[in-house]
A = this chain, B = another copy of it.
Amino acid sequence: MEKQTVTIYDVAREAAVSMATVSRVVNGNPNVKPATRKKVLEVIDRLDYRPNAVARGLASKKTTTVGVIIPDVTNIYFSSLARGIDDIAMMYKYNIILTNSDENGGKEVQVLNTLMAKQVDGIIFMGNQVTDELREEFKRSKAPVVLAGSVDSEKAQPSVNIDYVAAVAEAVKNLIDHGNQKIAFVSGSMEQAINHDYRLKGYKKALKDAGIAYDDKLVFETDYTYKAGQSLEPALSAAGATAAFVGDDELAAGVMNGLTDAGVDVPSEFEVITSNDTKLTELVRPKMSSITQPLYDIGAVAMRLLTKLMNNETVEENTVILPYGLMKRSSTK
Protein backbone atom coordinates (compact mmCIF):
# COMPACT_ATOMS: atom_id res chain seq x y z
CA MET A 1 0.00 0.00 0.00
CA GLU A 2 2.64 2.43 -1.04
CA LYS A 3 1.24 5.93 -0.78
CA GLN A 4 0.47 7.36 -4.18
CA THR A 5 2.20 10.61 -4.91
CA VAL A 6 0.40 13.24 -6.87
CA THR A 7 2.56 15.11 -9.32
CA ILE A 8 2.36 18.39 -11.10
CA TYR A 9 1.10 16.47 -14.06
CA ASP A 10 -1.92 15.21 -12.19
CA VAL A 11 -2.78 18.72 -11.16
CA ALA A 12 -2.39 19.97 -14.71
CA ARG A 13 -4.70 17.31 -16.03
CA GLU A 14 -7.37 17.84 -13.41
CA ALA A 15 -7.26 21.59 -13.82
CA ALA A 16 -7.13 21.31 -17.58
CA VAL A 17 -4.07 23.47 -17.91
CA SER A 18 -0.44 22.74 -18.70
CA MET A 19 2.26 21.80 -16.26
CA ALA A 20 3.86 25.13 -17.00
CA THR A 21 0.85 26.94 -15.66
CA VAL A 22 0.71 24.86 -12.53
CA SER A 23 4.37 25.50 -12.01
CA ARG A 24 3.70 29.21 -12.35
CA VAL A 25 1.02 29.32 -9.74
CA VAL A 26 3.04 27.18 -7.36
CA ASN A 27 5.96 29.54 -7.73
CA GLY A 28 3.91 32.69 -7.45
CA ASN A 29 4.68 33.81 -10.96
CA PRO A 30 2.37 36.76 -11.64
CA ASN A 31 1.74 35.92 -15.29
CA VAL A 32 -1.34 33.87 -14.58
CA LYS A 33 -4.89 35.00 -15.00
CA PRO A 34 -6.53 35.17 -11.58
CA ALA A 35 -9.31 32.85 -12.66
CA THR A 36 -6.79 30.24 -13.80
CA ARG A 37 -4.83 30.62 -10.63
CA LYS A 38 -7.90 30.04 -8.57
CA LYS A 39 -8.84 26.96 -10.53
CA VAL A 40 -5.37 25.50 -10.15
CA LEU A 41 -5.21 26.31 -6.49
CA GLU A 42 -8.44 24.47 -5.93
CA VAL A 43 -7.17 21.37 -7.63
CA ILE A 44 -3.93 21.56 -5.69
CA ASP A 45 -5.91 21.72 -2.53
CA ARG A 46 -8.26 18.96 -3.51
CA LEU A 47 -5.51 16.57 -4.54
CA ASP A 48 -3.31 17.70 -1.70
CA TYR A 49 -0.48 18.25 -4.09
CA ARG A 50 2.95 18.95 -2.62
CA PRO A 51 5.78 19.86 -4.94
CA ASN A 52 8.71 17.49 -4.87
CA ALA A 53 11.68 19.52 -3.77
CA VAL A 54 14.16 17.07 -5.23
CA ALA A 55 12.75 17.36 -8.70
CA ARG A 56 12.59 21.05 -8.21
CA GLY A 57 16.19 21.10 -7.15
CA LEU A 58 17.27 19.17 -10.19
CA ALA A 59 15.40 21.41 -12.57
CA SER A 60 16.23 24.71 -10.98
CA LYS A 61 19.69 23.92 -9.66
CA LYS A 62 18.74 25.31 -6.30
CA THR A 63 18.06 23.12 -3.31
CA THR A 64 17.26 25.75 -0.70
CA THR A 65 19.39 23.87 1.74
CA VAL A 66 22.72 24.85 3.17
CA GLY A 67 25.30 22.68 4.80
CA VAL A 68 26.54 23.41 8.29
CA ILE A 69 29.70 21.86 9.60
CA ILE A 70 29.98 22.00 13.35
CA PRO A 71 32.69 20.55 15.59
CA ASP A 72 30.18 19.16 18.07
CA VAL A 73 26.51 20.07 18.59
CA THR A 74 26.94 19.19 22.17
CA ASN A 75 29.24 22.15 22.72
CA ILE A 76 27.10 25.07 23.81
CA TYR A 77 29.25 27.64 22.13
CA PHE A 78 28.70 26.09 18.75
CA SER A 79 25.13 25.07 19.29
CA SER A 80 24.35 28.67 20.15
CA LEU A 81 25.74 29.75 16.82
CA ALA A 82 23.85 26.94 15.15
CA ARG A 83 20.65 28.20 16.62
CA GLY A 84 21.23 31.61 15.10
CA ILE A 85 22.06 30.02 11.80
CA ASP A 86 18.94 27.89 11.73
CA ASP A 87 16.61 30.71 12.66
CA ILE A 88 17.83 32.96 9.90
CA ALA A 89 17.95 30.08 7.47
CA MET A 90 14.33 29.32 8.19
CA MET A 91 13.48 32.95 7.79
CA TYR A 92 14.92 32.82 4.30
CA LYS A 93 13.33 29.45 3.54
CA TYR A 94 16.46 27.43 3.74
CA ASN A 95 17.04 24.20 5.57
CA ILE A 96 20.18 23.12 7.31
CA ILE A 97 22.10 19.90 6.83
CA LEU A 98 24.04 19.67 10.05
CA THR A 99 27.08 17.47 10.52
CA ASN A 100 29.50 17.06 13.35
CA SER A 101 33.13 17.08 12.38
CA ASP A 102 34.96 16.75 15.69
CA GLU A 103 37.36 19.21 14.08
CA ASN A 104 38.79 16.20 12.35
CA GLY A 105 40.31 17.31 9.08
CA GLY A 106 39.62 14.09 7.26
CA LYS A 107 36.04 14.00 8.33
CA GLU A 108 35.61 17.63 7.42
CA VAL A 109 36.80 17.07 3.90
CA GLN A 110 34.58 14.07 3.52
CA VAL A 111 31.55 15.88 4.87
CA LEU A 112 32.23 18.82 2.64
CA ASN A 113 32.23 16.53 -0.32
CA THR A 114 28.95 14.93 0.49
CA LEU A 115 27.47 18.36 1.07
CA MET A 116 28.62 19.44 -2.33
CA ALA A 117 27.30 16.24 -3.84
CA LYS A 118 23.95 17.06 -2.32
CA GLN A 119 24.10 20.35 -4.13
CA VAL A 120 23.68 22.57 -1.12
CA ASP A 121 23.37 26.20 -2.09
CA GLY A 122 25.86 27.33 0.51
CA ILE A 123 27.97 26.19 3.42
CA ILE A 124 28.67 27.48 6.88
CA PHE A 125 31.80 26.17 8.46
CA MET A 126 32.63 26.19 12.13
CA GLY A 127 35.95 24.89 13.31
CA ASN A 128 39.18 26.66 13.86
CA GLN A 129 41.60 24.74 11.83
CA VAL A 130 41.32 25.23 8.12
CA THR A 131 43.81 22.84 6.65
CA ASP A 132 45.24 23.38 3.21
CA GLU A 133 43.19 20.53 1.90
CA LEU A 134 40.05 22.08 3.32
CA ARG A 135 40.94 25.42 1.83
CA GLU A 136 41.31 23.75 -1.53
CA GLU A 137 37.88 22.21 -1.23
CA PHE A 138 36.39 25.54 -0.31
CA LYS A 139 37.91 27.03 -3.40
CA ARG A 140 36.59 24.42 -5.74
CA SER A 141 33.13 24.60 -4.23
CA LYS A 142 30.66 26.45 -6.33
CA ALA A 143 28.55 27.00 -3.25
CA PRO A 144 29.75 29.95 -1.20
CA VAL A 145 31.33 29.15 2.15
CA VAL A 146 31.32 31.34 5.21
CA LEU A 147 33.09 30.77 8.48
CA ALA A 148 31.11 31.42 11.63
CA GLY A 149 32.87 32.07 14.90
CA SER A 150 35.92 30.57 13.29
CA VAL A 151 39.02 31.97 11.75
CA ASP A 152 41.43 31.00 9.07
CA SER A 153 44.89 32.50 9.08
CA GLU A 154 44.69 32.90 5.32
CA LYS A 155 41.52 34.95 5.64
CA ALA A 156 40.44 33.56 2.32
CA GLN A 157 36.81 32.97 3.24
CA PRO A 158 34.05 35.32 4.24
CA SER A 159 33.61 35.08 7.97
CA VAL A 160 31.86 36.43 11.03
CA ASN A 161 33.77 36.80 14.29
CA ILE A 162 34.69 39.15 17.04
CA ASP A 163 38.11 40.72 17.41
CA TYR A 164 39.74 37.93 19.35
CA VAL A 165 43.09 39.61 19.72
CA ALA A 166 41.64 42.74 21.27
CA ALA A 167 39.15 40.82 23.38
CA VAL A 168 41.75 38.54 24.89
CA ALA A 169 44.16 41.41 25.39
CA GLU A 170 41.50 43.28 27.28
CA ALA A 171 40.58 40.27 29.36
CA VAL A 172 44.18 39.64 30.28
CA LYS A 173 44.82 43.30 30.98
CA ASN A 174 41.94 43.13 33.38
CA LEU A 175 43.64 40.29 35.19
CA ILE A 176 46.89 42.19 35.23
CA ASP A 177 45.18 45.26 36.61
CA HIS A 178 44.09 43.12 39.51
CA GLY A 179 47.69 42.61 40.36
CA ASN A 180 48.32 39.26 38.76
CA GLN A 181 51.75 38.74 37.33
CA LYS A 182 51.60 35.08 36.52
CA ILE A 183 48.64 34.54 34.31
CA ALA A 184 48.03 31.20 32.73
CA PHE A 185 46.85 30.91 29.16
CA VAL A 186 44.66 27.82 28.85
CA SER A 187 43.31 26.79 25.49
CA GLY A 188 42.77 23.98 23.08
CA SER A 189 45.24 22.91 20.46
CA MET A 190 47.77 25.51 19.44
CA GLU A 191 47.45 24.27 15.92
CA GLN A 192 44.17 26.08 15.75
CA ALA A 193 44.51 29.49 14.21
CA ILE A 194 42.21 31.00 16.77
CA ASN A 195 44.61 30.02 19.50
CA HIS A 196 48.03 30.70 18.08
CA ASP A 197 47.17 33.52 15.71
CA TYR A 198 44.63 35.37 17.78
CA ARG A 199 44.20 34.54 21.41
CA LEU A 200 47.84 33.98 22.17
CA LYS A 201 48.66 37.17 20.32
CA GLY A 202 46.21 39.10 22.47
CA TYR A 203 47.63 37.47 25.56
CA LYS A 204 51.17 38.43 24.63
CA LYS A 205 50.13 41.92 23.74
CA ALA A 206 48.57 42.49 27.14
CA LEU A 207 51.67 41.14 28.86
CA LYS A 208 53.95 43.28 26.79
CA ASP A 209 51.90 46.40 27.37
CA ALA A 210 52.25 45.75 31.06
CA GLY A 211 55.92 45.00 30.81
CA ILE A 212 55.53 41.41 31.92
CA ALA A 213 57.77 38.81 30.32
CA TYR A 214 56.10 36.06 28.35
CA ASP A 215 56.71 32.65 29.82
CA ASP A 216 55.62 29.64 27.87
CA LYS A 217 55.46 27.60 31.04
CA LEU A 218 52.24 29.40 31.65
CA VAL A 219 50.71 28.27 28.40
CA PHE A 220 48.55 25.20 28.81
CA GLU A 221 47.47 23.44 25.68
CA THR A 222 44.75 20.89 26.31
CA ASP A 223 41.36 19.97 24.95
CA TYR A 224 38.05 21.65 25.28
CA THR A 225 36.55 19.41 27.91
CA TYR A 226 35.45 19.82 31.46
CA LYS A 227 37.63 16.97 32.62
CA ALA A 228 40.72 18.41 31.01
CA GLY A 229 40.18 21.64 32.89
CA GLN A 230 39.48 19.96 36.15
CA SER A 231 42.68 18.02 36.11
CA LEU A 232 44.76 21.07 35.38
CA GLU A 233 44.89 22.29 38.93
CA PRO A 234 48.16 20.78 40.14
CA ALA A 235 49.96 22.06 37.05
CA LEU A 236 48.47 25.50 37.39
CA SER A 237 49.56 25.78 41.01
CA ALA A 238 52.94 24.33 40.27
CA ALA A 239 53.53 26.98 37.66
CA GLY A 240 52.75 29.59 40.27
CA ALA A 241 49.88 31.08 38.31
CA THR A 242 47.40 33.22 40.19
CA ALA A 243 44.97 33.73 37.36
CA ALA A 244 44.01 32.19 34.07
CA PHE A 245 42.53 33.16 30.81
CA VAL A 246 40.64 30.18 29.39
CA GLY A 247 39.54 29.72 25.79
CA ASP A 248 36.35 27.77 26.34
CA ASP A 249 33.60 27.91 28.93
CA GLU A 250 33.29 24.23 29.64
CA LEU A 251 37.03 23.99 29.98
CA ALA A 252 36.99 27.05 32.23
CA ALA A 253 34.31 25.52 34.40
CA GLY A 254 36.57 22.53 34.78
CA VAL A 255 39.54 24.66 35.66
CA MET A 256 37.55 26.59 38.20
CA ASN A 257 35.95 23.59 39.82
CA GLY A 258 39.28 21.83 39.85
CA LEU A 259 40.78 24.75 41.70
CA THR A 260 37.91 25.02 44.11
CA ASP A 261 37.89 21.32 44.82
CA ALA A 262 41.60 21.54 45.57
CA GLY A 263 40.89 24.20 48.14
CA VAL A 264 42.04 27.15 46.08
CA ASP A 265 39.55 29.95 46.43
CA VAL A 266 38.27 31.63 43.30
CA PRO A 267 38.59 34.55 42.93
CA SER A 268 40.51 35.58 46.04
CA GLU A 269 43.40 33.21 45.45
CA PHE A 270 42.99 32.58 41.77
CA GLU A 271 41.06 34.47 39.14
CA VAL A 272 39.54 32.91 36.06
CA ILE A 273 38.19 34.58 32.99
CA THR A 274 36.69 32.70 30.12
CA SER A 275 35.90 33.38 26.50
CA ASN A 276 32.50 32.52 25.20
CA ASP A 277 29.85 33.83 27.53
CA THR A 278 27.60 30.82 27.14
CA LYS A 279 24.95 29.97 29.70
CA LEU A 280 27.52 27.91 31.53
CA THR A 281 29.08 31.05 32.94
CA GLU A 282 25.97 31.65 35.03
CA LEU A 283 25.48 28.08 36.09
CA VAL A 284 28.68 27.59 37.95
CA ARG A 285 29.61 29.06 41.28
CA PRO A 286 31.26 31.46 41.39
CA LYS A 287 29.77 32.70 38.16
CA MET A 288 32.45 33.17 35.60
CA SER A 289 33.63 36.47 34.26
CA SER A 290 33.93 36.27 30.52
CA ILE A 291 34.57 37.95 27.27
CA THR A 292 31.08 38.44 25.89
CA GLN A 293 30.20 37.54 22.36
CA PRO A 294 26.92 37.84 20.54
CA LEU A 295 26.78 34.10 19.98
CA TYR A 296 23.39 33.86 18.40
CA ASP A 297 24.15 36.86 16.23
CA ILE A 298 27.40 35.45 14.97
CA GLY A 299 25.44 32.54 13.57
CA ALA A 300 22.61 34.72 12.39
CA VAL A 301 24.85 37.21 10.65
CA ALA A 302 26.87 34.45 9.07
CA MET A 303 23.72 32.95 7.65
CA ARG A 304 22.49 36.30 6.48
CA LEU A 305 25.79 36.91 4.78
CA LEU A 306 25.53 33.54 3.15
CA THR A 307 22.09 34.30 1.75
CA LYS A 308 23.52 37.36 0.07
CA LEU A 309 26.39 35.40 -1.35
CA MET A 310 24.06 32.69 -2.61
CA ASN A 311 21.99 35.39 -4.20
CA ASN A 312 24.98 36.94 -5.91
CA GLU A 313 24.33 40.20 -4.18
CA THR A 314 27.39 42.33 -3.77
CA VAL A 315 28.39 42.53 -0.15
CA GLU A 316 30.37 45.46 1.08
CA GLU A 317 32.49 43.54 3.55
CA ASN A 318 33.23 39.86 3.51
CA THR A 319 34.85 39.79 6.90
CA VAL A 320 32.47 40.95 9.53
CA ILE A 321 33.62 41.69 13.04
CA LEU A 322 30.94 41.89 15.69
CA PRO A 323 31.43 43.74 18.96
CA TYR A 324 32.64 41.96 22.07
CA GLY A 325 32.57 42.99 25.67
CA LEU A 326 33.83 41.99 29.06
CA MET A 327 31.40 40.72 31.63
CA LYS A 328 32.59 40.82 35.18
CA ARG A 329 31.02 38.13 37.28
CA SER A 330 32.43 36.49 40.34
CA SER A 331 35.44 34.53 39.17
CA THR A 332 37.52 37.68 39.03
CA LYS A 333 38.10 40.33 41.66
Contacts and interface: CB of A to CB of B under 8 A. Distances in A.
Which of A51, A52, A54, A117 gathers the greatest number of chain B CB atoms within 10 Å? A54
Contacts of A87: 100
Contacts of A226: 279, 282-283
Interface stretch (A14-22, A78-86, A147-155, A192-200): A78-86
Interface in A104-154: 113-119, 140, 142
Contacts of A86: 73, 98-100
Given A74-B83, A79-B79, A86-B98, A54 B283 contact: no
Given A51-B117, A226-B283, A280-B283, A95 B97 contact: yes
A321 interface: no
A41 interface: no
Interface stretch (A57-65, A165-173, A204-212): A57-65
A285 interface: yes
Interface in A20-44: none
A79 B76 CA distance: 9
B282 A285 contact: no
Nearest to A119: B54
Contacts of A317: none
A292 B115 CA distance: 35
Interface of A: 2-3, 5, 50-55, 57-58, 63, 65, 72-74, 76, 79-80, 82-83, 86-87, 90, 95-100, 113-119, 140, 142, 226, 250, 253, 257, 260, 279-280, 282-285
